[in-house]
Structure 1
Amino acid sequence: MSTEHETAREQSAAALHSAVAGYLDHLAVERGLAANTLSSYRRDLRRYLEFLAGRGVDSLAAVAESHVTEFLRRLREGDADHPPLGGNSAGRAVVAVRGLHRFALREGLAAVDPAGGVRPPTPARRLPKAVSLEAIESLLGAVPGEGAPRSLRDRALLELLYGTGARISEAVGLDVDDITRLAPEPAPGSEHGDPAGAPGSDDGVAAVRYRGKGGKERLVPIGRFARAALDSYLVRARPVLAASGRGSSALFLNARGGRLTRQGAWAVLRAAAERAGLSDVSPHTLRHSFATHLIDGGADVRVVQELLGHASVTTTQVYTMVTVDRLREVYAASHPRANAAG
């Protein structure tokens, strides 16, 4: 091999590495990618360069779609130096490679984008995380239903999150007027039902009006436990918290009398989870548990769809998968002929 040819190869390889460095700088400076994500992309692209070098590819111009496709296959299969990657990790690597070639095309470093037609693997469908009823009771029991105003507020917040399946943004966005009562059906022979009363009234059904995604409103009934916690908070705690503020209409108030923020609600849940000895519990865990426990109890999936505010029943049907998995586990553990003899 001539010295000129070797020099040209070295220059091409240097240009390829320079393109990767420029792309990573672009992600860090212009896109503001998180440090952990940037580190993952750097590792993925280093492996991509090693793969290309092993195929004798030393320039952006020499990369073909078949190289990118083979790289993806190698990620999934693994090799002597690397274990096989799951769909999510392989997908991230392909996203990094696609971004590199798109960047090179946009910056005039390459004439074509060989990765544009290569799609990342479809990630495995992640089932919602739900916790047992016993864990929910431990969580709710970790916040006293009596005592200081903030304790009453925290208990009411957590009871409402689990009792109605609310998103945390919906719960902290509530105003006092969003707690209402659905009047009972008129008794036979009467002309009018009783007028709507206070949320704590024994007549009718207490309900909460949520404003979900896209501004869509829905009414969700409030169960007995959440209703009792809300009554205690509204009567004995909220007036004390409100005295520190400027007349906020928010249902849940912070210590200064203003609206409780999402971060504040997160802190309430995190503190209760720590006291209950639970880990990895989020507001969405309560929402998922609400839906899963309803379906476990025989609720129709379309009713759960309405309660959650899902636009499509397809989104809600994932909870039926959780229930089927649970039924399979119970069957395998309980039925005398579920497993082959050892």
Structure 2
Amino acid sequence: MTPDAAMAGYLRHVAVERGLADNTVSAYRRDLTGYVAFLAARGIDDITAVQVPDVTAYLRSIGEEGKSPASAGRMLSSVRGLHRFLIDDRIAVTDPTAEVSPPKLAMRLPKALTIDQVAALLAATSGDDPVRQRDRALLELLYATGARISEAVALDVDDLGEQRSVRLNGKGGKQRIVPVGSYAITAIEEYLVRVRPRFSSEGRSTPALFLGPRGARMSRQSAWLAIRAAAERAKLDVQLSPHTLRHSFATHLLAGGADVRVVQELLGHASVATTQLYTLVTIDTLRDVYAASHPRAR
């Protein structure tokens, strides 16, 4: 089978049998078109003739073109999907990508706010405006629990526990119970008494905890815009992401002496290795303090 025919069969498979989105199929097509062209340049006209050195050379050529490690890894994943499809369809008997590892990604440390910056962010949601009161409850909850924005907006009122806790539904449908601090509890209670009934009356009945002014469940995008608006009012000159409060929650817990496995449970990480990224952040902080404070550190 020619590489072009193999690519066409695989794209048909992911589009029709697997039902992947058009954008995803287009991304596979872009990646595999480059791969097929690379094989043609090497004189390979039978997809089953591809060997490990060919795939390794392809990966090296991607790097020489200036592609980032993340892009190279994605392109290799597309190629790997193609060859596995050929094995599943009994067109090929070996997978030349099985022994090829993607390039290592540079370790990116999560960005966290300082405690003072978090305080300024939360203070920027103060006031009697109903939307501000809702946003304060939301942001206090995000920082108090380390919840993802998607987890927070998916909360129903019944997910609030009686003993200062909240039930979060994480990735893969995994639930976890996370304690909620007094500041967040106070903000949520004020929102439930003063704001939510007003918002709820504007729309259909819904169990959602956080509502928009028209009574519908608050969207993830609206929650992210609320964080950005508070940051602008607080004049925080920092780069924010939807996970900023989650990162800050984890970093501040570890800096305060929390065990990494406890933080893992609170964040809902499947592996402690993911949580350990935050320990690198706290070590960097300790190193900075040490360098600034110890008389023989410099």
Band the TM-score falls in, shorter-chain normalisation: 0.7 to 0.9
Q: 1:243 aligns with which of 195, 201, 204?
A: 201
Contact 2:202–2:213 (CA<8 Å) still a contact in 1? Answer: yes
Alignment of 1:99-114 (within 5 A): 99-104=81-86, 110-114=91-95
Tell me which moved more, 114-123 or 287-296.
114-123
CA contact (8 A) 1:87 1:122 kept: yes
Distance 1:52 1:175 in 2: 53
TM-score by length of structure 2 reads 0.77
Post-superposition Cα deviations, 1:93-132, rounded to whole Å, max 9, x if no partner, equal 2112223334455667x54444252343264354333233
Measured in 1, the distance between the counterparts of 2:8 and 2:167 equals 48
Q: Select the residue among 26, 29, 39 that pairs with 1:38.
A: 26
Aligned positions of 1:187-198 closer than 5 A: none
Q: Which residue of 2 aligns with 1:268?
A: 226
1:161 touches 1:283 (CA, 8 Å); kept in 2?
A: no
Alignment of structure 1 residues 109-258 onto 2, 5 Å: 110-121=91-102, 123-124=104-105, 125-143=107-125, 145-179=126-160, 182=163, 207-213=164-170, 214-224=173-183, 226-245=184-203, 247-258=205-216
What SS class does the counterpart of residue 34 from structure 1 fall into? helix
Deviations 1:13-67 (A, max 9, x none): xx434544554566567532527x835x555445434543454333324322332
Where does the alignment leave 5 or more consecutive residues of structure 1 unmatched?
Answer: 1-11, 183-206
Residue identity (%): 51
State the partner residue of 2:248: 289
Distance in 2 of aligned mates of 1:100 and 1:262: 34
Deviation of 1:156 (Å) = 1.1
The answer to whether the 8 Å contact 2:161/2:167 transfers is no
Q: Kindly tell me the number of residue pairs found equivalent between the two proteins.
A: 292
Given that 1:68 and 1:118 are in contact with CA atoms closer than 8 Å, whether structure 2 keeps it comes out as: no
Query: Would you say 1:60 and 2:17 are equivalent positions?
Result: no
Question: Match of 2:198, SS?
Answer: helix
Taking the aligned partners of 1:250 and 1:53, their CA distance within structure 2 comes to 56
Find 1:89's aligned residue among 55, 71, 88.
71
Say whether the 8 Å CA contact 1:155–1:229 is kept in structure 2. Answer: yes
Cα-Cα RMSD: 3.5
Q: Against the structure 1 CA distance between its residues 75 and 231, is the aligned structure 2 distance closer, same or farther, given a 3 Å change threshold?
A: same
Shift of 1:290: 0.5
8 Å Cα contact 2:152/2:168 also seen in 1? no
Structure 1 residues 19 and 177: CA distance shift in structure 2, 3 A = closer
1:284 CA drift (Å): 2.3
Please, which of 246, 254, 259 is the counterpart of residue 300 of structure 1? 259
CA-CA distance at 1:323 after TM superposition: 1.3
CA distance in 2 between partners of 1:247 and 1:59 (Å) = 61
Classify 1:61/1:258 alpha carbon distance in 2 versus 1 (closer, same or farther; 3 Å): closer
- Relative to structure 1, the CA distance from residue 307 to residue 103 in structure 2 (aligned partners, 3 Å threshold; closer, same or farther) is closer
Counterparts of 1:304 and 1:70, CA distance in 2: 42
**TM-score w.r.t. structure 1 length?**
0.69
Asked if the contact 1:95/1:120 (under 8 Å) is kept, the reply is: no
Tell me what 2:280 maps to: 321
Unaligned runs of 5+ in 2: none
**1:235/1:87 CA distance change after superposition, 3 Å:** same
Check conservation: 1:48, 1:97, Cα contact below 8 A: yes
Q: Match of 1:90, as an amino acid? A: A
